[in-house]
């Protein structure tokens, strides 16, 4: 018996970065639980992520996938089985029939589709990420559609992510969208803690999953920096 197509199950392409695989799994899992889908379907999501979420197991799966392509059974429906990638935020499918470009957006919620790259500097074996302190008003959305965004304040920014303060407490691994005058991004909540000033606000750090800069030059951060 051939193994299921785990990429199709998680709605990602075979070249999807690990962060996209993780985000898609979390989004699909949350929606499945809300919709009350059968436990077997949730188990299939878990099985797909157990393979694609592990670097070594994914490499072995990819190697087997490229060499073993089982023939279609005669009693299977002769329909297109490829699942189009979907937006990590609203879940709307998109099939651009080409490589995603830096300015591509979801046709439903306008969220960016272009995967954020991991930028890092290595020094003495430790990862060092250049963060730029910045104060900017940002809009935060946790679902789509959302009647009105939460308003927060950016604290610092890097090409990998953002730290901000807001009056809403987000959950670790939650997928959120942030908008400001310089960028729009989908991010995974990496950490949350209460602000130390005694106010009812929360400090949140997110890792960018998809990202679009409105201006690459003359802004506070550049992909070439």
Domain membership of residue 83 (yes or no) is no
Domain membership of residue 139 (yes or no) is yes
Residue 216: the pLDDT is: 55
Domain count, the chain: 2
Q: Determine phi and psi for 45, rounding to 5 degrees.
A: -60, -45
Residues near 37 by beta carbon (within 8 Å), at least 6 away in sequence: none
Domain, as residue range, for 16: 6-67
What is the C-alpha to C-alpha distance for residues 109 and 144, in angstroms, rounded to an integer?
Answer: 7
Do 208 and 140 lie in one domain? The reply is yes
Q: The domain that contains 134 carries what CATH number?
A: 2.40.10.220
Q: The domain that contains 63 carries what CATH number?
A: 1.10.287.110
Domain membership of residue 134 (yes or no) is yes
Domain membership of residue 62 (yes or no) is yes
Per residue in 109-159, pLDDT (tens digit) is 999 998 887 544 433 344 444 667 788 899 999 988 889 999 999 999 888
Domain membership of residue 154 (yes or no) is yes
Do 126 and 194 lie in one domain? The reply is yes
Rg (CA), the chain: 19
Residue 3: the pLDDT is: 67
Do 208 and 131 lie in one domain? The reply is yes
Indicate whether this model's pTM tops 0.85.
no
Domain membership of residue 114 (yes or no) is no
Residue 129: the pLDDT is: 47
Residue 180 Cα distances to 35, 113, 152, angstroms: 32, 17, 10
Residue 143 Cα distances to 2, 90, 105, 136, 223, angstroms: 36, 7, 16, 22, 28
Least confident of 25-39, 53-67, 85-99, 141-155: 85-99
Higher pLDDT, residue 23 or 152: 152
Do 208 and 127 lie in one domain? The reply is yes
């Amino acid at each position: 018996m051939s193994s299921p197509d785990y990429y199709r199950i998680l709605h990602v392409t075979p070249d999807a970065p690990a962060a996209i695989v993780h985000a898609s799994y979390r989004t699909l899992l949350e929606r499945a639980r809300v919709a009350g889908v059968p436990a077997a379907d949730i188990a299939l999501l878990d099985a797909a992520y157990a393979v694609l979420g592990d670097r070594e197991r994914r490499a072995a799966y990819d190697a087997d996938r490229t060499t073993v392509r089982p023939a279609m059974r005669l009693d299977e429906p002769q329909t297109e089985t490829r699942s189009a990638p979907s937006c990590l935020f609203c879940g709307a499918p998109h099939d651009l029939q080409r490589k995603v470009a830096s300015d591509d957006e979801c046709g439903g919620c306008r969220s960016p589709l272009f995967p954020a790259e991991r930028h890092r500097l290595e020094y003495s074996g430790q990862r060092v990420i250049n963060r730029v302190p910045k104060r900017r008003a940002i809009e935060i959305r946790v679902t789509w559609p959302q009647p009105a965004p939460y308003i927060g304040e950016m604290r610092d920014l890097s090409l990998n992510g953002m730290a901000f303060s807001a009056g809403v407490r987000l959950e670790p691994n939650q997928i959120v969208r942030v908008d400001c005058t310089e960028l729009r991004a989908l991010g995974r909540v990496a950490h949350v803690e209460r602000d130390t000033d005694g106010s009812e606000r929360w400090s949140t750090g997110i890792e960018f999953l998809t990202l679009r800069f409105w201006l690459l030059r003359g802004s506070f951060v550049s992909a070439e920096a």
